[in-house]
Amino acid sequence: KAGVTQTPRYLIKTRGQQVTLSCSPISGHRSVSWYQQTPGQGLQFLFEYFSETQRNKGNFPGRFSGRQFSNSRSEMNVSTLELGDSALYLCASSLTLYEQYFGPGTRLTVT
């Protein structure tokens, strides 16, 4: 069974630009969550989507947004990038409310 896939794996952007990251969950999983991982803050929850609806949201500014499609694939968007947005962005999918399985992440560098 294929795991969670994320594209692209690496990305370099300039301050002020916007970026879109993609996540394909494990087949059959309908919940997709996004997390940001940085050396200083660790892993922090961004938001969760289930059946195309945002079900939960973390404490991030409105520049961070996401969506989920009918096939459960999800995208997150960050607008007006700041240097502090440099991080590993992780997507996790789950079948139930419990175990979440993570993808390899997208490494975003903002210069």
Partner 1 sequence: EDQVTQSPEALRLQEGESSSLNCSYTVSGLRGLFWYRQDPGKGPEFLFTLYSAGEEKEKERLKATLTKKESFLHITAPKPEDSATYLCAVQVNSGSRLTFGEGTQLTVNP
Question: Which parts of this chain interact with partner 1 (CB under 8 A)?
Answer: 4, 31, 33, 35, 42-45, 48, 50, 55-56, 58, 90, 92, 94, 97-105, 107
By the 10 Å C-beta count (0-12 exposed, 13-18 middle, 19+ buried), 72 is classed as: buried
Q: Which is nearer to partner 1, 48 or 85 (CB)?
A: 48
CB of 49 to partner 1, least distance (A): 10
CB of 79 to partner 1, least distance (A): 23
The three-point CA angle 88-47-95 to 5° equals 95
Q: Which is nearer to partner 1, 27 or 56 (CB)?
A: 56
In this structure, which amino acid lies at residue 82? Answer: E
Rounded distance, CA 8 to CA 45, Å?
A: 20
Q: Which is nearer to partner 1, 43 or 80 (CB)?
A: 43
